[in-house]
Amino acid sequence: MNPPDRHPRSSGQRLFFALWPAAMLQSRIFNYAQSLKISSARFVPVDNLHMTLLFLGQVEAGQQHCLEQALNSLRLPGFELYFGQAVFRRRQRLLWLEPTSRPDALLRLVAALRQIASDCGLKTESRPFRAHISLFHKLAQAPSDLPAPEFIWPVQGFVLAASKTLPAGARYRIVKKWSLTG
């Protein structure tokens, strides 16, 4: 696979790879977030709920084509994620759901995405992957009694998504989907 021409022809898009829950699971997660009755923070809209696997940044059309071509032949298994804890990250002022474990299949998927991004000429973050679904941003402190969520997510695919920053917050759009095998 050859990296695309590095001379930009357009401004590209801000892209990232993510696990995107089905609408029913998104609704269950959103209902859990609403049940916390947090009004002092910015909540993540229901249709934005996802788990980022790898942020790519600005991606030119040639790089995106390279990514899509490489991913069309990727064969990795599906897996399940069990969410049993809500975590408050004081420094980042975030409240998120974190799975109780990170299956090997999830870590192999993230490693494969990093390699493909590199092969397509993209530089990505080097920090370790932290599996989570953000619920609230700009939260000063966690609620005193944080009930444990209970969600099982049978992951059967992943997406390439675009991010657009608006005054009211980021909006995400799925660009393309790929299935994971049984």
Asked if pLDDT for residue 6 goes beyond 50, the answer is no
Average pLDDT over residues 46-66: 95
Q: In whole angstroms, what is the distance from residue 23 CA to residue 29 CA?
A: 10
**pLDDT computed for residue 141 by the predictor:** 81
pLDDT at 92: 80
Average pLDDT over residues 65-81: 96
Band of the pLDDT at 99, cuts 50, 70, 90?
A: very high
The answer, yes or no, to whether residue 9 has pLDDT greater than 60, is no
Confidence band of 182 (pLDDT split at 50, 70, 90): low
Q: In the predicted model, is pLDDT for residue 3 greater than 60?
A: no
Of the residues 7, 50, 65, 137, only one is catalytic, namely 50
Q: Between 60 and 140, where is the model more confident?
A: 60
Bigger pLDDT: 36 vs 15:
15
50 is catalytic: yes
CA–CA separation, 99 vs 81, rounded Å?
6
pLDDT in the model for residue 167: 81
d(CA 147, CA 135) in angstroms, rounded, equals: 14
Q: What domains are defined for the chain?
A: 13-40+47-80+102-130+155-179 (3.90.1140.10)
The number of angstroms, rounded, from the C-alpha of 31 to the middle of its chain's C-alpha atoms is 19
Q: Which residues contact 91 (CB under 8 A, 6 or more apart)?
A: none
What integer is the mean pLDDT of 32-46? 85
Spatial distance between the Cα atoms of 48 and 85, rounded to a whole number of angstroms: 20
Rounded to the nearest integer, the mean pLDDT of the chain is 89
Known catalytic residue: 137? no
